[in-house]
Structure 1
Amino acid sequence: MPKVVNIEPTPNPDALKFIVQRPILRSGTRSFRDFGAAVGDPLASSLFALGRITSVFYMDRFVTVNKAPDDEWSGLIDPICEAIEDLEMEAVDGNAPAPGSSLADDEKLDRINKLLDERIRPGLAGDGGGVEVISFEENTLQISYHGACGSCPSSGGGTLRYIEGLLQDEVDPQIRVISY
Protein backbone atom coordinates (compact mmCIF):
# COMPACT_ATOMS: atom_id res chain seq x y z
CA MET A 1 0.00 0.00 0.00
CA PRO A 2 1.56 3.31 -1.03
CA LYS A 3 1.70 6.03 1.57
CA VAL A 4 1.08 9.65 0.58
CA VAL A 5 4.05 11.58 1.97
CA ASN A 6 3.36 15.01 0.48
CA ILE A 7 0.79 16.96 -1.51
CA GLU A 8 2.11 19.62 -3.86
CA PRO A 9 0.27 22.33 -5.73
CA THR A 10 0.81 22.53 -9.48
CA PRO A 11 0.68 25.54 -11.79
CA ASN A 12 -2.87 24.38 -12.58
CA PRO A 13 -5.19 25.35 -9.68
CA ASP A 14 -7.47 22.42 -10.52
CA ALA A 15 -4.69 19.81 -10.13
CA LEU A 16 -2.76 18.53 -7.13
CA LYS A 17 0.25 16.23 -7.13
CA PHE A 18 0.19 13.47 -4.48
CA ILE A 19 3.71 12.19 -3.76
CA VAL A 20 3.89 8.57 -2.54
CA GLN A 21 6.59 6.79 -0.58
CA ARG A 22 7.22 3.94 -3.02
CA PRO A 23 6.81 3.61 -6.79
CA ILE A 24 3.39 2.89 -8.21
CA LEU A 25 4.82 2.28 -11.69
CA ARG A 26 8.22 0.84 -12.55
CA SER A 27 8.23 2.64 -15.90
CA GLY A 28 6.00 4.63 -18.20
CA THR A 29 2.88 6.55 -17.30
CA ARG A 30 -0.85 6.05 -17.02
CA SER A 31 -3.32 8.77 -17.90
CA PHE A 32 -7.13 8.74 -17.78
CA ARG A 33 -9.49 11.51 -18.83
CA ASP A 34 -12.70 9.90 -17.59
CA PHE A 35 -14.15 7.01 -15.60
CA GLY A 36 -14.77 4.92 -18.74
CA ALA A 37 -11.12 5.04 -19.72
CA ALA A 38 -10.13 4.00 -16.19
CA VAL A 39 -12.05 0.71 -16.18
CA GLY A 40 -9.60 -2.02 -15.24
CA ASP A 41 -7.17 0.33 -13.51
CA PRO A 42 -7.67 -0.03 -9.74
CA LEU A 43 -6.18 3.32 -8.75
CA ALA A 44 -7.81 5.50 -11.41
CA SER A 45 -11.17 3.75 -11.02
CA SER A 46 -11.21 4.35 -7.27
CA LEU A 47 -10.32 8.02 -7.75
CA PHE A 48 -12.99 8.61 -10.41
CA ALA A 49 -15.50 6.83 -8.15
CA LEU A 50 -15.11 9.74 -5.72
CA GLY A 51 -16.91 11.94 -8.25
CA ARG A 52 -15.84 15.47 -9.18
CA ILE A 53 -12.53 14.12 -10.55
CA THR A 54 -11.84 15.08 -14.17
CA SER A 55 -8.55 13.28 -14.84
CA VAL A 56 -5.95 11.04 -13.23
CA PHE A 57 -2.29 10.80 -14.26
CA TYR A 58 0.41 8.81 -12.53
CA MET A 59 3.96 7.64 -12.91
CA ASP A 60 6.78 6.48 -10.68
CA ARG A 61 6.08 8.03 -7.25
CA PHE A 62 3.28 10.49 -7.85
CA VAL A 63 -0.38 10.75 -8.75
CA THR A 64 -1.82 13.95 -10.22
CA VAL A 65 -5.54 14.41 -9.79
CA ASN A 66 -7.59 17.08 -11.52
CA LYS A 67 -10.90 18.29 -10.12
CA ALA A 68 -13.78 20.12 -11.72
CA PRO A 69 -13.12 23.88 -11.78
CA ASP A 70 -16.14 24.70 -9.61
CA ASP A 71 -15.23 22.21 -6.86
CA GLU A 72 -13.09 22.94 -3.80
CA TRP A 73 -10.12 20.81 -2.75
CA SER A 74 -11.16 20.83 0.90
CA GLY A 75 -13.61 17.93 0.53
CA LEU A 76 -11.47 15.92 -1.87
CA ILE A 77 -7.97 15.72 -0.41
CA ASP A 78 -8.66 13.20 2.37
CA PRO A 79 -10.70 10.81 0.15
CA ILE A 80 -8.00 11.00 -2.56
CA CYS A 81 -5.28 10.15 -0.03
CA GLU A 82 -7.37 7.26 1.29
CA ALA A 83 -7.96 5.90 -2.22
CA ILE A 84 -4.24 6.03 -2.98
CA GLU A 85 -3.26 4.50 0.34
CA ASP A 86 -5.86 1.72 0.01
CA LEU A 87 -4.32 0.62 -3.30
CA GLU A 88 -3.17 -2.98 -3.00
CA MET A 89 -0.95 -3.64 -5.98
CA GLU A 90 2.72 -3.96 -6.69
CA ALA A 91 4.44 -1.46 -8.97
CA VAL A 92 3.72 -2.33 -12.58
CA ASP A 93 4.84 -1.06 -15.96
CA GLY A 94 2.81 1.79 -17.35
CA ASN A 95 1.69 2.39 -20.85
CA ALA A 96 4.64 3.81 -22.72
CA PRO A 97 3.78 6.32 -25.39
CA ALA A 98 3.01 4.40 -28.56
CA PRO A 99 3.12 6.61 -31.61
CA GLY A 100 2.72 3.62 -33.92
CA SER A 101 5.08 0.92 -35.11
CA SER A 102 5.60 2.54 -38.49
CA LEU A 103 7.11 5.57 -36.73
CA ALA A 104 9.35 3.69 -34.30
CA ASP A 105 12.23 3.51 -36.78
CA ASP A 106 12.01 7.13 -37.83
CA GLU A 107 15.27 8.81 -36.86
CA LYS A 108 13.63 12.24 -36.53
CA LEU A 109 10.97 10.89 -34.17
CA ASP A 110 13.68 9.18 -32.12
CA ARG A 111 15.48 12.54 -31.77
CA ILE A 112 12.21 14.23 -30.81
CA ASN A 113 11.46 11.66 -28.11
CA LYS A 114 15.01 11.91 -26.78
CA LEU A 115 14.67 15.70 -26.44
CA LEU A 116 11.26 15.32 -24.80
CA ASP A 117 12.70 12.75 -22.37
CA GLU A 118 15.75 14.86 -21.50
CA ARG A 119 14.44 18.42 -21.53
CA ILE A 120 10.64 18.51 -21.39
CA ARG A 121 9.18 15.55 -19.52
CA PRO A 122 11.23 16.03 -16.31
CA GLY A 123 9.98 19.61 -15.97
CA LEU A 124 6.39 18.63 -16.67
CA ALA A 125 6.63 15.75 -14.17
CA GLY A 126 7.93 18.22 -11.60
CA ASP A 127 4.65 20.09 -12.02
CA GLY A 128 2.56 16.90 -11.91
CA GLY A 129 2.12 16.42 -15.65
CA GLY A 130 3.41 14.77 -18.74
CA VAL A 131 3.32 14.79 -22.52
CA GLU A 132 2.73 11.96 -24.96
CA VAL A 133 3.48 11.84 -28.67
CA ILE A 134 0.30 10.95 -30.53
CA SER A 135 1.60 11.12 -34.10
CA PHE A 136 4.32 12.58 -36.29
CA GLU A 137 3.49 13.07 -39.95
CA GLU A 138 4.77 15.55 -42.52
CA ASN A 139 6.74 17.49 -39.88
CA THR A 140 3.66 17.95 -37.68
CA LEU A 141 4.00 16.53 -34.18
CA GLN A 142 0.73 15.93 -32.39
CA ILE A 143 1.05 15.71 -28.61
CA SER A 144 -1.30 15.19 -25.71
CA TYR A 145 -0.76 16.68 -22.27
CA HIS A 146 -1.57 14.66 -19.16
CA GLY A 147 -2.01 15.30 -15.46
CA ALA A 148 -1.78 18.90 -14.32
CA CYS A 149 -0.75 19.91 -17.84
CA GLY A 150 -3.91 18.50 -19.40
CA SER A 151 -6.12 21.41 -18.41
CA CYS A 152 -3.53 24.06 -17.60
CA PRO A 153 -3.90 27.29 -19.57
CA SER A 154 -0.13 27.65 -20.10
CA SER A 155 0.21 24.21 -21.72
CA GLY A 156 -1.69 25.32 -24.82
CA GLY A 157 0.37 28.47 -25.26
CA GLY A 158 3.73 28.96 -23.60
CA THR A 159 4.67 25.34 -23.07
CA LEU A 160 3.53 24.30 -26.55
CA ARG A 161 5.52 27.14 -28.16
CA TYR A 162 8.58 26.27 -26.06
CA ILE A 163 8.42 22.62 -27.19
CA GLU A 164 7.98 23.69 -30.80
CA GLY A 165 10.91 26.15 -30.60
CA LEU A 166 13.18 23.56 -29.00
CA LEU A 167 12.37 20.98 -31.69
CA GLN A 168 12.80 23.54 -34.46
CA ASP A 169 16.23 24.52 -33.08
CA GLU A 170 17.44 20.99 -32.35
CA VAL A 171 15.73 18.76 -34.93
CA ASP A 172 14.17 20.56 -37.91
CA PRO A 173 13.08 24.20 -38.39
CA GLN A 174 9.98 23.01 -40.26
CA ILE A 175 8.47 21.10 -37.32
CA ARG A 176 5.06 22.26 -36.11
CA VAL A 177 3.63 21.08 -32.79
CA ILE A 178 -0.08 20.84 -32.06
CA SER A 179 -1.80 19.55 -28.96
CA TYR A 180 -4.69 17.12 -28.96
Structure 2
Amino acid sequence: MPKIVEIEDTPNPNAMKFILHEPLTWGITHSYDNAEQAKDDVLASALFDIEHVSNVFYVDRWLTVTQDGGTDWPELKRLIAVPIRAAPAADAQSATTVAAASTVIAELSGEDQQRLEQINALLDEQIRPALQGDGGDLHVVDLAGNYLSIHYQGACGSCPSSIAGTLKSIENLLRTIEPDIEVVAV
Protein backbone atom coordinates (compact mmCIF):
# COMPACT_ATOMS: atom_id res chain seq x y z
CA MET A 1 0.00 0.00 0.00
CA PRO A 2 1.57 3.27 -1.12
CA LYS A 3 2.42 5.82 1.50
CA ILE A 4 2.27 9.48 0.60
CA VAL A 5 5.70 11.02 1.08
CA GLU A 6 4.84 14.56 0.05
CA ILE A 7 2.08 16.64 -1.52
CA GLU A 8 3.21 19.42 -3.85
CA ASP A 9 1.47 22.36 -5.45
CA THR A 10 1.74 22.52 -9.23
CA PRO A 11 1.71 25.57 -11.52
CA ASN A 12 -1.94 24.68 -12.14
CA PRO A 13 -3.86 25.89 -9.06
CA ASN A 14 -6.47 23.17 -9.62
CA ALA A 15 -3.95 20.30 -9.51
CA MET A 16 -1.94 18.67 -6.72
CA LYS A 17 0.92 16.20 -7.08
CA PHE A 18 1.15 13.33 -4.58
CA ILE A 19 4.60 11.77 -4.30
CA LEU A 20 4.55 8.19 -3.06
CA HIS A 21 7.01 5.89 -1.32
CA GLU A 22 6.04 2.82 -3.39
CA PRO A 23 5.34 2.87 -7.13
CA LEU A 24 1.84 2.50 -8.55
CA THR A 25 3.23 1.47 -11.96
CA TRP A 26 6.56 0.80 -13.62
CA GLY A 27 6.81 3.34 -16.44
CA ILE A 28 3.22 2.99 -17.65
CA THR A 29 1.17 6.19 -17.45
CA HIS A 30 -2.50 6.23 -16.57
CA SER A 31 -4.38 9.37 -17.59
CA TYR A 32 -8.12 9.88 -17.25
CA ASP A 33 -10.27 12.93 -17.98
CA ASN A 34 -13.47 11.47 -16.51
CA ALA A 35 -14.95 8.58 -14.56
CA GLU A 36 -16.08 6.74 -17.70
CA GLN A 37 -12.50 6.55 -18.99
CA ALA A 38 -11.37 5.29 -15.58
CA LYS A 39 -14.04 2.62 -15.10
CA ASP A 40 -11.54 -0.26 -15.40
CA ASP A 41 -8.96 1.33 -13.09
CA VAL A 42 -9.76 0.72 -9.42
CA LEU A 43 -7.64 3.58 -8.07
CA ALA A 44 -8.76 6.17 -10.62
CA SER A 45 -12.42 5.12 -10.23
CA ALA A 46 -12.20 5.60 -6.47
CA LEU A 47 -10.68 9.05 -6.99
CA PHE A 48 -13.42 10.05 -9.44
CA ASP A 49 -15.99 8.99 -6.82
CA ILE A 50 -14.78 11.99 -4.82
CA GLU A 51 -16.78 15.11 -5.61
CA HIS A 52 -14.87 17.77 -7.61
CA VAL A 53 -12.15 15.43 -8.97
CA SER A 54 -11.93 16.13 -12.71
CA ASN A 55 -8.69 14.44 -13.84
CA VAL A 56 -6.40 11.67 -12.58
CA PHE A 57 -2.90 11.05 -13.88
CA TYR A 58 -0.32 8.70 -12.43
CA VAL A 59 2.92 6.94 -13.22
CA ASP A 60 5.58 5.26 -11.11
CA ARG A 61 5.81 6.99 -7.70
CA TRP A 62 3.58 9.99 -8.23
CA LEU A 63 -0.02 10.86 -8.91
CA THR A 64 -1.63 14.15 -9.91
CA VAL A 65 -5.27 14.92 -9.18
CA THR A 66 -7.00 17.88 -10.77
CA GLN A 67 -10.18 19.33 -9.35
CA ASP A 68 -12.90 21.41 -10.99
CA GLY A 69 -12.18 24.45 -8.81
CA GLY A 70 -15.35 23.97 -6.76
CA THR A 71 -13.68 23.20 -3.41
CA ASP A 72 -10.68 24.03 -1.25
CA TRP A 73 -7.66 21.75 -1.26
CA PRO A 74 -7.22 20.96 2.46
CA GLU A 75 -10.37 18.80 2.75
CA LEU A 76 -10.01 17.40 -0.77
CA LYS A 77 -6.44 16.26 -0.07
CA ARG A 78 -7.64 14.30 2.97
CA LEU A 79 -10.32 12.57 0.88
CA ILE A 80 -7.89 11.79 -1.94
CA ALA A 81 -5.37 10.24 0.46
CA VAL A 82 -7.74 7.41 1.39
CA PRO A 83 -7.89 5.63 -2.02
CA ILE A 84 -4.20 6.31 -2.64
CA ARG A 85 -3.26 4.55 0.60
CA ALA A 86 -5.62 1.67 -0.23
CA ALA A 87 -4.16 1.13 -3.73
CA PRO A 88 -1.81 -1.79 -4.23
CA ALA A 89 1.81 -1.02 -5.02
CA ALA A 90 2.93 -2.01 -8.51
CA ASP A 91 3.80 -5.63 -9.07
CA ALA A 92 7.06 -6.28 -10.83
CA GLN A 93 6.23 -5.85 -14.50
CA SER A 94 8.16 -7.37 -17.35
CA ALA A 95 10.23 -5.25 -19.67
CA THR A 96 7.91 -6.36 -22.46
CA THR A 97 4.88 -4.76 -20.81
CA VAL A 98 6.71 -1.49 -20.22
CA ALA A 99 8.10 -1.49 -23.76
CA ALA A 100 4.62 -2.05 -25.17
CA ALA A 101 3.50 1.18 -23.56
CA SER A 102 6.09 3.21 -25.48
CA THR A 103 4.92 5.63 -28.09
CA VAL A 104 4.44 3.80 -31.37
CA ILE A 105 1.92 4.94 -33.92
CA ALA A 106 1.06 1.95 -36.09
CA GLU A 107 0.14 3.88 -39.23
CA LEU A 108 3.52 5.60 -39.57
CA SER A 109 5.99 4.74 -42.30
CA GLY A 110 9.42 3.53 -41.25
CA GLU A 111 10.88 6.97 -41.99
CA ASP A 112 8.21 8.76 -39.94
CA GLN A 113 8.65 6.26 -37.10
CA GLN A 114 12.35 7.20 -37.01
CA ARG A 115 11.39 10.89 -36.96
CA LEU A 116 9.00 10.17 -34.08
CA GLU A 117 11.74 8.35 -32.16
CA GLN A 118 14.01 11.40 -32.52
CA ILE A 119 11.21 13.70 -31.41
CA ASN A 120 10.41 11.52 -28.40
CA ALA A 121 14.09 11.34 -27.43
CA LEU A 122 14.27 15.14 -27.38
CA LEU A 123 10.99 15.38 -25.47
CA ASP A 124 12.24 12.76 -22.97
CA GLU A 125 15.47 14.66 -22.46
CA GLN A 126 14.31 18.27 -22.30
CA ILE A 127 10.54 18.59 -21.90
CA ARG A 128 8.99 15.67 -20.03
CA PRO A 129 11.18 15.98 -16.89
CA ALA A 130 9.98 19.56 -16.37
CA LEU A 131 6.34 18.65 -17.02
CA GLN A 132 6.59 15.64 -14.70
CA GLY A 133 8.18 17.82 -12.05
CA ASP A 134 5.03 19.93 -12.17
CA GLY A 135 2.69 16.92 -11.97
CA GLY A 136 1.98 16.47 -15.67
CA ASP A 137 3.30 15.03 -18.88
CA LEU A 138 2.54 14.88 -22.56
CA HIS A 139 1.66 12.06 -24.90
CA VAL A 140 2.33 12.14 -28.63
CA VAL A 141 -0.92 11.38 -30.40
CA ASP A 142 0.07 11.63 -34.05
CA LEU A 143 2.73 12.71 -36.51
CA ALA A 144 1.22 13.62 -39.87
CA GLY A 145 3.61 15.32 -42.26
CA ASN A 146 4.91 18.35 -40.40
CA TYR A 147 2.14 18.33 -37.76
CA LEU A 148 2.81 16.77 -34.37
CA SER A 149 -0.30 16.32 -32.21
CA ILE A 150 0.28 16.09 -28.48
CA HIS A 151 -2.04 15.61 -25.54
CA TYR A 152 -1.18 17.15 -22.18
CA GLN A 153 -1.73 14.92 -19.15
CA GLY A 154 -2.16 15.50 -15.44
CA ALA A 155 -1.68 19.04 -14.15
CA CYS A 156 -0.67 20.21 -17.63
CA GLY A 157 -4.02 19.23 -19.13
CA SER A 158 -5.91 22.22 -17.78
CA CYS A 159 -3.03 24.60 -17.04
CA PRO A 160 -3.27 27.87 -18.99
CA SER A 161 0.51 28.10 -19.49
CA SER A 162 0.69 24.68 -21.16
CA ILE A 163 -1.64 25.72 -23.97
CA ALA A 164 0.30 28.88 -24.82
CA GLY A 165 3.89 29.29 -23.61
CA THR A 166 4.82 25.66 -23.08
CA LEU A 167 3.39 24.61 -26.45
CA LYS A 168 5.42 27.29 -28.25
CA SER A 169 8.56 26.27 -26.33
CA ILE A 170 8.07 22.64 -27.35
CA GLU A 171 7.61 23.66 -30.97
CA ASN A 172 10.73 25.86 -30.90
CA LEU A 173 12.80 23.05 -29.37
CA LEU A 174 11.57 20.49 -31.90
CA ARG A 175 12.38 22.86 -34.75
CA THR A 176 16.06 22.32 -33.92
CA ILE A 177 15.66 18.84 -35.45
CA GLU A 178 12.52 19.36 -37.59
CA PRO A 179 12.63 22.97 -38.92
CA ASP A 180 9.10 22.94 -40.39
CA ILE A 181 7.26 21.13 -37.59
CA GLU A 182 4.11 22.55 -36.09
CA VAL A 183 2.93 21.29 -32.70
CA VAL A 184 -0.76 21.17 -31.87
CA ALA A 185 -2.31 20.32 -28.51
CA VAL A 186 -5.37 18.07 -28.75
TM-score range, shorter chain: over 0.9
Which segment is superposed worse, 20-29 or 69-78?
69-78
Whole-angstrom distance in 2 between the partners of 1:104 and 1:61: 35
Specify the alignment match of 2:59 in structure 1: 59
Specify the alignment match of 2:174 in structure 1: 167
TM-score, normalised to structure 2's length?
0.91
Matched residue count: 179
TM-score, normalised to structure 1's length?
0.94
Aligned ranges 1:105-116 → 2 under 5 Å: 105=110, 106-116=113-123
Specify the alignment match of 1:177 in structure 2: 183
Unmatched segments (≥5 aa) in structure 1? none
The residue identity in structure 2 corresponding to 1:75 is E
Unmatched segments (≥5 aa) in structure 2? none
Specify the alignment match of 2:144 in structure 1: 137
Aligned ranges 1:117-136 → 2 under 5 Å: 117-136=124-143
Whole-angstrom distance in 1 between the partners of 2:63 and 2:42: 13
Please state whether the residue corresponding to 1:36 is helix, strand or coil.
Answer: coil
Whole-angstrom distance in 2 between the partners of 1:108 and 1:158: 24
Specify the alignment match of 1:49 in structure 2: 49
Please state whether the residue corresponding to 1:83 is helix, strand or coil.
Answer: helix
Specify the alignment match of 1:40 in structure 2: 40
Deviation at 1:51, TM superposition (A): 2.0
Asked whether the equivalents of residues 97 and 132 of structure 1 are also in contact (C-alpha less than 8 Å), the reply is: no
Whole-angstrom distance in 1 between the partners of 2:118 and 2:145: 15
Runs of 4+ with deviation above 6 angstroms = none
Deviation at 1:96, TM superposition (A): 2.8
Specify the alignment match of 2:158 in structure 1: 151
**What do you get for the CA RMSD once the two structures are aligned?**
1.6
Deviation at 1:139, TM superposition (A): 0.7
Whole-angstrom distance in 2 between the partners of 1:36 and 1:134: 20
Task: Flag the structure with higher strand content.
Answer: 1
Specify the alignment match of 2:4 in structure 1: 4
Residue identity over aligned pairs, in percent, reads: 42
Whole-angstrom distance in 2 between the partners of 1:97 and 1:65: 23
Deviation at 1:74, TM superposition (A): 2.2
Which segment is superposed worse, 94-103 or 146-155?
94-103
The residue identity in structure 2 corresponding to 1:133 is V
Whole-angstrom distance in 1 between the partners of 2:53 and 2:37: 13
Cα deviations by residue, 1:48-73 (Å, 9 ceiling, x for unpaired): 01121000000110000000123211
Deviation at 1:97, TM superposition (A): 5.2
Whole-angstrom distance in 1 between the partners of 2:102 and 2:34: 19
The residue identity in structure 2 corresponding to 1:81 is A
